[in-house]
Amino acid sequence: MKHLLSINDLSKDEAIEILDTAAELARLAEGAVKKFPTLRGRTVVNLFFEDSTRTRISFEAAAKRLSADVINFAAKGSSLSKGESLKDTALTLQAMGADAVVIRHSASGAAHQLAKQEWMKGVVINAGDGTHEHPTQALLDAFTIRRHLKGSEGDLSGIKVGIVGDILHSRVARSNILLLKKLGAEVVLIAPPTLIPVGVSQWGVDVSYSLDDQIKSLEVIIVLRVQKERMNDLYFPTEREYARGYGLNSERMEGMKDKAIVMHPGPMNRGLEISADSADSARSVIVEQVANGVSVRMAVLYLLLGGATFKELSSSGENL
Amino acid sequence: MNSYRIKAASDSNGKVGDHFVSGGKFVKEGELANDAQVIDAKGLTILPGFVDLHTHLREPGKEDAETVLTGSMAAAAGGFTAISAMPNTLPVADTAGVVEQVYRLGKHHGICDVYPIGAVTVGQRGQVLAELSAMNQSEAGVRIFSDDGYCVYDPLVMRRALEYVKTFDGIIAQHAQDPRLTEDSQMNEGEVSARLGLKGWPAVAEEAVIARDVLLAEHVDSRLHICHVTTAGGVEIVRNAKRRGIMVTAEVTPHHLLLTDDLAESYNPVYKVNPPLRTRNDVQALREGLADGTIDIIATDHAPHPHESKDCEWDAAAFGMIGLETAFSISYQVMVETKLLTLAQLVDRLSKIPAQIGRYEDHGSIDEGMAANFTLADLGARWQVERSKLESKSRNTPFDGLDLPGVISKTFHNGVLVYERKSK
């Protein structure tokens, strides 16, 4: 694994290695030392063409806990908005000597191009590209599920996960589907037909148009954010009608399995896709997802950048 | 005037013989001047020059991508002796002045015949008919009209255009694309687009417009040409329309005969094209449609773009591929080597039939008395596409690195040698 662009870049073993490493890092962080010297001298650039405070600070915290130098590059605009092109930005970062670039971009495939076009040499980590993928979100979701339902060990076999909402436009859903299936979970997509992509039959998942039919059979429900603007593109008639059919609320949650958990990648539209009492319920692990995000991103940075550096550091220490 | 004795070339039916060129025409042996130059064409095949009904030359306005001159050179290198310049230039070719300018540039360079296609509507905006008669009566003699790049979507505008051009035996070439169903669309809608997170371009957006337009053409009894058909459903609609006797013709591009939508997995915008690459099933239907005559011709949709328009994110990249220089080889590989067509049938679809549709009378035949527009091809040889060595000013070929059959050796326009492949 040279880059992390898509969940498809990971084998099942590599995915589990990331989860195990994240678990170990989380355990260590509970001790006295919260910061590790692993990435000292390395530069991690957070290249965000799209605003996403929570993902950016999560990567920033992860990199800093590994002692990397962090540069936040909030690129205003892109080729699409006639700003600086992705290529020129990449050449600039290359000139500055970035060891890893964490990229968030509104265009699907932007991370892929950054890695494959040879504009720069560093490691590329996809922090969300258009409506394509968001692999670290899927890893942190899998981490959270595993922690609650599998004792933080092994894969996710035997677990049924429902993903509810705007599958069509969701990079979180795409990465989650790939990873959950890779780890042996059963996946059902729950949404109105307008928000299910044409071609979904090839994905090896079940599709349901009814949350009420599915909710009692799920160990995990992942509620996706619904952009209010989707209404204007005729994906559903009104927010109220969407909430009535697909919004998670305490009434709907009655009869869920004992240990079932509720997840949301954030930021939430309380009252639209999830009610306040559901978001704050005992089943909700939404806040924990955020904490786990830091551990998982530390693991990704560590495994993509860390090993060699750690050796370099210790050997140069001996030479001194 | 140039005079040639083309010795021992084989024709598209495999018949070997000599051909004589003088005064810009094919002549009898007796009419040849004594000092005629002898071209030993043994092992080569003489073919009528190819005729492209769908070319983007970008001049005026986007000369960084292509000019009439560089586009003509690319055409000659591909064996074409006639090309048809689409009107989406700056300014749009929607007046007699602009089409005459393009036509004269073609004449001035004299590498191939450049027939301008006029815009159907003012500014290609789909609202008001452009002065179609004025363009027809201009020096350019425009017969084909298209808003290519945009669909003539308003059914009333399309109906009026189809009716109006009957006065001068004109034809409307429709870019069939429902604009509402393709807002921000990036690639064929299907399993691949769903996986890649690129906005889908459904087949029905093309097919619905084709269906409407064949019915309109039937109703007003006019000639309709469908640009770049890409879907199995579109082929079926045209097939049925022809059975009903509707005057519809259709074209397919070489890239849609070979490439499929899964190439977008690379996110390399060189594969971004309008209409988009479709599925294997569609490619097969297009080949069969071309073989059985449902699709009449091959047209390149040669669409040059400067490097920066393709060296960026997929969403931001321009649509289009260049294709003049690879059209024959790709078509030969997918249609003749697969035995779907004979060489003669393929050449009809690249030369004679497009010349008939466009009423380009100096093209499509190498019979005595015809203008000497022809090409000599080495069908036994192969060549490798190298984007940096193409004659086009642009480099956006999806075929870079491909090893292809059929080398265009020489091309003659009105009896003048305008292209000769450099020996390696």
The residue with greater pLDDT, B349 or A32, is B349
The residue with greater pLDDT, A211 or A116, is A211
**The pLDDT of residue A318 is above 70:** no
pLDDT band at A313 (very low <50, low <70, confident <90, very high): very low
Mean pLDDT of A169-189: 98
So what's the ipTM on this one? 0.91
Contacts of B313 in chain A (CB under 8 A): 78-80, 86, 105, 107, 109-110, 113
* Amino acid at site B332: Y
pLDDT of residue A80: 56
Give the residue from A9, A91, A103, A113 with the most B CB atoms within 10 Å of its CB, the best one to mutate. Answer: A113
Mean pLDDT of B296-325: 96
- Phi/psi region, residue A165 (left: phi>0; alpha: psi -120 to 50; beta: rest), is left
Cα distance between residue A64 and residue A44, in whole Å: 9
The residue with greater pLDDT, B151 or A81, is B151
Least confident stretch, A92-96, A260-264, B35-39, B81-85: A92-96
Mean pLDDT of A72-83: 69
The answer to whether the CB of B65 falls within 8 A of the CB of B304 is yes
Distances from the Cα of B112 to the Cα of A133, A148, B91, B411, angstroms? 48, 72, 23, 10
Quick: pLDDT tens for A117-130.
878 889 999 999 99
Cα distance between residue A57 and residue A43, in whole Å: 16
Query: If you ran DSSP here, which 8-state letter would residue B238 be given?
Result: H
Mean pLDDT of B281-305: 98
Mean pLDDT of B195-219: 98
Percentage of chain B exceeding pLDDT 70: 99
pLDDT band at A316 (very low <50, low <70, confident <90, very high): very low
Contacts of B316 in chain A (CB under 8 A): 78-80, 107
Catalytic center residues of B: 301
Q: Does B315 touch chain A (CB under 8 A)?
A: yes
pLDDT band at B415 (very low <50, low <70, confident <90, very high): very high
The residue with greater pLDDT, A119 or B260, is B260
pLDDT of residue A231: 75
Contacts of A201 in chain B (CB under 8 A): 191
Mean pLDDT of B50-66: 98
Quick: pLDDT tens for B169-193.
999 999 999 999 999 999 999 999 9
**In whole numbers, what is the pLDDT of chain A averaged over residues?**
90
pLDDT band at A228 (very low <50, low <70, confident <90, very high): confident
**The pLDDT of residue B412 is above 90:** yes
Q: Does B196 touch chain A (CB under 8 A)?
A: yes
Least confident stretch, A93-97, A139-143, A204-208, B306-310: A93-97
A232 CA: distance to closest CA in chain B (Å):
14
Q: Does B265 touch chain A (CB under 8 A)?
A: no
Cα distance between residue A225 and residue A267, in whole Å: 7
**In whole numbers, what is the pLDDT of chain B averaged over residues?**
97
Contacts of B281 in chain A (CB under 8 A): none
pLDDT of residue A232: 78
The answer to whether the Cβ–Cβ distance between A197 and B193 falls below 8 Å is yes
pLDDT band at A85 (very low <50, low <70, confident <90, very high): confident
SS3 state at B321: strand
The answer to whether the Cβ–Cβ distance between A198 and B308 falls below 8 Å is no
The answer to whether the Cβ–Cβ distance between B313 and A199 falls below 8 Å is no
The answer to whether the Cβ–Cβ distance between B191 and A110 falls below 8 Å is no
pLDDT of residue A83: 63
Query: Domains in chain B, start-ordered, CATH in brackets?
Result: 4-45+371-420 (2.30.40.10), 49-358 (3.20.20.140)
Q: What angle do CA A90, A92, A95 make, to 5 degrees?
A: 110
The answer to whether the CB of B186 falls within 8 A of the CB of A80 is no
Cα distance between residue B260 and residue A164, in whole Å: 32
**The pLDDT of residue A75 is above 90:** no
CB proximity list for A286: less than 8 A, separation 6 or greater: A262, A263, A264, A266, A268, A279
Give the residue from A47, A79, A178 with the most B CB atoms within 10 Å of its CB, the best one to mutate. Answer: A79
Structure tokens at B62: 């986007």
> Which of A109, A130, A199 has the CB atom closest to B191's CB atom?
A199
The answer to whether the Cβ–Cβ distance between B316 and A110 falls below 8 Å is no
pLDDT of residue A82: 60
pLDDT of residue B57: 98
**The pLDDT of residue A86 is above 60:** yes
The answer to whether the Cβ–Cβ distance between B189 and A198 falls below 8 Å is yes
The answer to whether the Cβ–Cβ distance between B192 and A199 falls below 8 Å is yes
Q: What angle do CA B37, B420, B416 make, to 5 degrees?
A: 50
> Which of B191, B193, B313 has the CB atom closest to A110's CB atom?
B313
pLDDT band at A310 (very low <50, low <70, confident <90, very high): very low
Q: Does B203 touch chain A (CB under 8 A)?
A: no
The answer to whether the Cβ–Cβ distance between B194 and A86 falls below 8 Å is no
* Amino acid at site A71: I
DSSP states of B123-158 = GG-SSSB--HHHHHHSTT---EE--TTS----HHHH
pLDDT of residue B252: 98
Residue of A nearest to B193 (CA): A199
In this structure, are strands B16-22 and B25-27 parallel, antiparallel, or unpaired?
Answer: antiparallel
- The chain A residues in contact with chain B (CB within 8 A) are 78-80, 85-87, 105-110, 112-113, 116-117, 129-133, 171, 174, 197-203
Least confident stretch, A116-125, B76-85, B293-302, B397-406: A116-125
Residue of A nearest to B198 (CA): A108
pLDDT of residue A92: 87
The answer to whether the Cβ–Cβ distance between A80 and B316 falls below 8 Å is yes
Mean pLDDT of B35-46: 96
**The pLDDT of residue A202 is above 70:** yes
Contacts of B314 in chain A (CB under 8 A): 107-109, 113
Question: Nearest CA to B206 among B142, B267, B285?
Answer: B285
pLDDT of residue A32: 78
Mean pLDDT of A56-80: 87
pLDDT of residue A33: 76
The answer to whether the Cβ–Cβ distance between B267 and A171 falls below 8 Å is no
pLDDT of residue A79: 56
> Which of B189, B312, B314 has the CB atom closest to A85's CB atom?
B312
What is the count of residue pairs from A and B with beta carbons less than 8 Å apart? 80
Quick: pLDDT tens for B61-115.
999 999 999 999 999 999 999 999 999 999 999 999 999 999 999 999 999 999 9
pLDDT of residue A78: 57
The answer to whether the Cβ–Cβ distance between B313 and A112 falls below 8 Å is no
Which own/partner contact pairs does B121-125 have at CB distance under 8 Å and 24+ positions apart? B121/B94, B121/B147, B121/B152, B121/B157, B121/B161, B122/B92, B122/B94, B123/B92, B123/B94, B124/B87, B124/B88, B124/B92, B124/B94, B124/B149, B124/B150, B125/B150
